[in-house]
Amino acid sequence: MESVSYRAYAKLNLSLDVTGKREDGYHLMDMVNVSVSLCDSMIFTRTPGRPFSISSTVRFLPTGEKNLVWKAANALFASCGKELPEMHIHIIKRIPTQAGLGGGSADAACALIALNKEYELGMSVDDLCSLAEKIGADVPFCVRGGYARVTGIGEEITAFESPSKYHLVLVMPKQGKSTKAVFEAIDNAPMLNHPDNDAVVSWLKKGKPDQAMKNAENVFETSIPDEETVKLTAFLKESGAYYSALTGTGACVFGMFSKYSAAIKCRDLLRDQGYGCWTALPVSAGVEQI
């Protein structure tokens, strides 16, 4: 059987603001995002004579039509007037779920890019992003990857380049967060602090991440206090991070370090405490063929 492998990179919200709410209930966002090296691996195997199927290393994830990868594949081939291909996709999960790292969205973006390439469907990146909007709010960004200012409900993406160098520590609390529940809570929470995302982007373009993050904020963190988030962000800063915050709606917390040695030491200490913890770097793409 013919197989190809891809990496689906996690999404990190360096700064996040909620700017309003549409009549249909969707929240309007203003985010500064970056793709990071923590990734899922996806193996695409042609299976002549057998129907399209998905498997995963995580047992509780759906593998049928409710899976975002299935939805992405179905949307892609339907847009071309085709049936789902005779293919099996195996997902090796490393990005934790309910973390705010866009793991499911990254996998969906990977499916769009990989299947478009492998079956020579001829879709442009813009075409894939249009399809991605219908699958999930983070999927368009994961298709483009790298650094971007993301607004609207996630569909308005302004990519930019940054020479910034830093090391990330990502730490996952022992319990995740429901995105739906957190968005419901934000409607009744006071917006205590707002980021200056213009300044965040400006400093990142100059390769000054430490200056950029002086203007950053995640309104979900400051407006909906959480004891575990407070504890972890404080630990990361005490361990040498010059910035630490929640990503997305959580539950994952990240710290930015200038020194790799400090990041590794912090990661190991958190692992000793029983946390899922990883080091990562910014990457220039959302999806990459291995």
Q: Which residues are tagged catalytic? A: 11, 138
Q: CA separation (Å) from 39 to 11, 22, 164, 178?
A: 9, 32, 20, 21
Shortest CA distance to 53 belongs to which of 43, 64, 62?
Answer: 64
Classify residue 282 by burial, with Cβ atoms within 10 Å: 0-12, 13-18, 19+.
buried
Positive or negative: CA dihedral 93, 225, 200, 171: negative
